[in-house]
């Protein structure tokens, strides 16, 4: 099965090792017996994501991530749009380094594609626990 994980940059930011992130994301999906067929991460500004939030969700507020889910069965298809501005601000707020917060947000989007929700407090706790598990997988050598 073909795996396609793309990264698009609309701001002055780049992942340091895209191949490592691709492997990590694929491994995280595999952990849930899912296969990443086509997954795109778009890194953008607050203003760009605000416009997406308004246009597609009718929400007039900043957010760190929006996930568009087109999954079919055990195959992951989706677009994840991340505000680098918001990730930086949240890293400061949560007193973690930027890369850790970025991985958390990237994992968060993938978890939505794996079927996890975060509407209730219980769902949010589960999501946070799964994010931490995914971040730990990033450091495992394969």
How many angstroms separate the Cα of 79 from the Cα of each of 1, 87, 94, 113? 19, 17, 26, 9
CATH number, domain containing residue 47 = 3.40.390.30
**pLDDT at position 1, please?**
76
Phi, psi (rounded to 5 degrees) for 70: -125, 30
Residue ranges, the chain, pLDDT below 50: 142
Tell me which long-range contacts 84-90 makes (C-beta under 8 A, separation of at least 24): 84/11, 84/13, 84/43, 84/44, 84/45, 85/11, 85/45, 85/46, 86/46, 86/49, 86/62, 90/64
State the Cα–Cα distance between residues 24 and 92, nearest whole angstrom. Answer: 24
Number of domains in the chain: 1
**pLDDT at position 49, please?**
97
Sort 17 into a burial class: Cβ within 10 Å, 0-12 / 13-18 / 19+.
Answer: exposed
pLDDT tens, residue by residue, 26-58 = 999 999 999 999 999 999 999 999 999 999 999
- Look up the domain containing 100 and give its range: 4-138
């Amino acid at each position: 099965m073909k795996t396609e994980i793309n990264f698009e940059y609309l701001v002055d930011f780049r992942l340091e090792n895209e191949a490592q992130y691709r492997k990590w994301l694929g491994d995280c999906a595999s952990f849930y017996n899912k296969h990443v067929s086509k997954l795109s991460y778009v890194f953008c500004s607050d203003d760009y994501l605000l416009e997406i939030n308004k246009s597609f969700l009718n929400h007039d507020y900043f957010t760190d991530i929006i996930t568009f889910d087109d999954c079919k069965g055990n195959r992951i298809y989706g677009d994840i749009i991340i505000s680098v501005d918001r990730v930086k601000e949240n890293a400061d707020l949560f007193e973690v380094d930027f890369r850790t917060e970025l991985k958390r947000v990237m994992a968060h989007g993938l978890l939505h594609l794996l079927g996890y929700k975060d509407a209730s407090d219980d769902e949010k706790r589960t999501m946070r626990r799964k994010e931490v598990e995914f971040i730990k997988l990033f450091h495992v050598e394969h």
